DNA sequence: GTCTATAAGGAGATAGAC
DNA sequence: GTCTATCTCCTTATAGAC
C-alpha cells in the first residue's frame, strides 16, 4: 500500500526528524518549511502553530503505543512454554521499537516530557507502565496455569520489563541499529529471569 | 559551611534550573540574567557564550558522578552479607541521587544528550555504565569469597542496576520526592534479586 | 494550497562608560 | 563587574494576491 505523502504528512515527518534531535525549542518553523520545500507561511495552512505540530506528533505517539492487541493466538498457544513465549514476544516488541519512526518517537518523548503542553500527556513513565500492565496480565495467567512459580505478577512484570526498557534506552543513542546485539542482550536477560521464576 | 554564592555560581544555578526544565534551546540568556538580577550583557563577564554555560554545567555533572570512592570500609565489612550490603549501598546512592541538584543534573543529561557539544560527552549510557562497572567489581568479589552463586558478574550487575535506574528515572518526573517509596521499591527489587544469586 | 510581503518582537553578542 | 546602548539576525505569525 502506497504511503500518502501530502504536504501535511511531509511537515509532520520533517518536524519529527528535527524535534527529536534538536528539540522543539531548538527547531524553527523556517527549518521545517525549508526542509519540506515550502515557505514559512505555508506551514500555517496545515497547522495552527508550531506547538500544534508538536501536539499532533505526541498524539501520534500515544496512538502508536503497543497494547495487548498484538498478542496473537499463535503466540498465546505458547504460553505454556514461558521461556519461548517471552523470547518470541520480546522479539516482536524489539522489532517494532527498533524502527526509525519509533526511535524518533521515543527520543521526542524523552526530550519533551518535561515541557507542559495543553491537552497532551506523554512520558517515559506512561510507556513503561503500559508495558508493565501487559506483562502483569501475562504472568498472572502463567501463574494461574502453574507454568511458573507463584508470586506477585506485578513484581515479575517490573523485574522483567525494567531491564528491557533500559536496553531499549541504551540503544536509542547509538547511530547504527544492531538488532542482533539488542536481541542477544534481551535473550540473556530472559534466560536469567526465567531461572528465577521457573518452578 | 556557608555556600559561596557569587554571581558566577548564581548564573550556574539559575541556568541549571531553566535548562533542566525548558531545555537549552528553550532558555534565553535574557531569562537567565533576569532571574539572576543582572543585565544580559552581565552574563558575558562570566561566560563566553550561552553554550559555554551548558558546557560548564555538563562538566560539573561529569565530575559529580558517583564512583567507587564512596564505598567506605564500614560498608566493605558487610560484603559477607550481600543482602544487607546491597540495601545499605543502594540507600546511600538513592539519597545522593534524590537531591534537587542531582535530579536537575539527570534531567539535563536526559534532555540534552542528543545535542552535540564540542568537548563534552555525557549521556544516560555513560551514567549507567559507570554504575554497572562498580557493581561488577562488587559481585566479582562476592563470587570470589563464595558469598553468592557463581556467575558472570557483569550479568549480575546489569540485572541489578537496570531496575534501580528505571526506578530512578520514574521518580524523576514526579514533583514530590517520596524517598520512602523509592527505597521500598528498591528493597523489593533487592529481595527479588537476592533470591536469584544466593547460594 | 502556496506564494510574497511584512509585522512585531526576541535572540545572542559586543562596545565602551562608570 | 555591572551598566546602557546598540547591532544584526532570527523568531512566529498574519494579510492578501494568485
pLDDT of residue B13: 97
pLDDT of residue A5: 57
Cα gap B148→B160, rounded to integer Å? 14
Could you read off the pLDDT of A140-182 as tens digits, one per residue? 999 999 999 999 999 999 999 999 999 999 999 887 778 999 9
Cα gap A189→A172, rounded to integer Å? 18
Task: Measure CB to CB from residue B189 to each of A111, A159, A170 and give the nearest one.
Answer: A159
Domain with CATH 1.10.10.60 in chain B: 7-58
Domain with CATH 1.10.357 in chain B: 64-197
Residue B165: closest CA among chain A residues belongs to which residue? Answer: A166
Could you read off the pLDDT of B171-195 as tens digits, one per residue? 998 877 789 999 999 999 999 999 9
Residues in chain B closer than 8 A to A111 (CB atoms): 23, 110-111, 114
CA distance A52 to chain B (A): 17
Give the residue among A142, A139, A181 at the shortest CA–CA distance from A158.
A139
B121: confidence class by pLDDT, cuts 50, 70, 90: confident
Q: Are A88 and A75 in contact (CB under 8 A)?
A: yes
Distance of C1' in C9 from CA in B45, Å: 26
Residues in chain A closer than 8 A to B111 (CB atoms): 23, 110-111, 114
Cα gap B108→B19, rounded to integer Å? 7
Please tell me the class of the B64-197 domain. mainly alpha
Cα gap B185→B195, rounded to integer Å? 16
Mutation test of the interface with chain B: which of A104, A107, A108, A111, choosing the one with the most B Cβ atoms within 10 A? A111
3-state secondary structure chain A: CCCCCCHHHHHHHHHHHHHHHHCCCCCCHHHHHHHHCCCHHHHCCCCCCHHHHHHHHHHHHHHCCCCHHHCCHHHHCCCCCHHHHHHHHHHHHHHHHCCHHHHHHHHHHHHHCCCCCCCCCCCHHHHHHHHHHHHHHHHHHHHHCCCCCCCCHHHHHHHHHHHHHHHHHHHHHCCCCCHHHHHHHHHHHHHHHHHHHCC
* pTM of the predicted structure, to 2 decimals: 0.94
Cα gap A100→A199, rounded to integer Å? 39
CA distance B138 to chain A (A): 19
Give the residue among B127, B126, B135, B125 at the shortest CA–CA distance from B158.
B135
Whether CB of B15 is under 7 Å from strand C: the answer is no
Tell me the average pLDDT of chain A.
Answer: 93
Mutation test of the interface with chain A: which of B103, B162, B167, choosing the one with the most A Cβ atoms within 10 A? B162
Residue A4 has pLDDT above 60, yes or no: no
Give the CATH superfamily of B7-58: Homeodomain-like (1.10.10.60)
Q: Which nucleotide's C1' sits nearest to the alpha carbon of A33?
A: C2
Residue A1 has pLDDT above 60, yes or no: no
Let me know the angle formed at the C-alpha of B172 by B171 and B175, rounded to the nearest 5 degrees: 85
Residues in chain B closer than 8 A to A110 (CB atoms): 110-111
Cα gap B82→B142, rounded to integer Å? 8
Could you tell me which residue, B34 or B119, shows the higher pLDDT?
Answer: B34
B69: confidence class by pLDDT, cuts 50, 70, 90: confident
Chain D bases near protein Cβ (<7 Å): 1-6, 10-16
Amino acid at each position: 500500500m502506497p504511503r500518502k505523502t501530502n504536504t501535511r504528512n511531509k511537515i509532520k515527518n520533517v518536524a519529527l526528524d528535527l524535534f527529536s534531535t534538536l528539540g522543539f525549542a531548538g527547531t524553527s518553523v523556517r527549518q521545517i518549511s525549508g526542509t519540506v520545500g515550502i515557505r514559512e507561511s505555508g506551514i500555517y495552512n496545515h497547522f495552527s502553530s508550531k506547538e500544534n505540530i508538536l501536539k499532533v506528533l505526541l498524539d501520534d505517539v500515544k496512538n502508536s503505543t503497543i497494547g495487548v492487541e498484538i498478542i496473537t493466538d499463535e503466540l498465546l498457544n505458547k504460553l505454556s512454554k514461558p521461556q519461548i513465549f517471552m523470547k518470541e514476544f520480546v522479539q516482536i516488541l524489539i522489532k517494532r521499537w527498533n524502527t526509525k519512526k519509533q526511535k524518533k518517537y521515543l527520543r521526542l518523548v524523552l526530550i519533551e516530557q518535561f515541557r507542559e503542553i495543553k491537552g497532551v500527556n506523554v512520558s517515559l513513565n506512561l510507556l513503561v507502565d503500559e508495558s508493565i500492565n501487559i506483562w502483569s496480565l501475562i504472568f498472572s495467567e502463567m501463574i494461574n496455569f502453574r507454568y511458573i512459580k507463584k508470586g506477585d505478577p506485578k513484581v515479575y512484570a517490573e523485574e522483567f520489563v525494567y531491564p528491557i526498557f533500559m536496553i531499549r534506552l541504551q540503544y536509542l543513542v547509538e547511530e547504527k541499529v544492531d538488532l542482533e546485539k539488542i536481541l542477544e542482550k534481551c535473550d540473556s536477560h530472559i534466560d536469567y529471569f526465567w531461572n528465577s521464576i521457573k518452578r
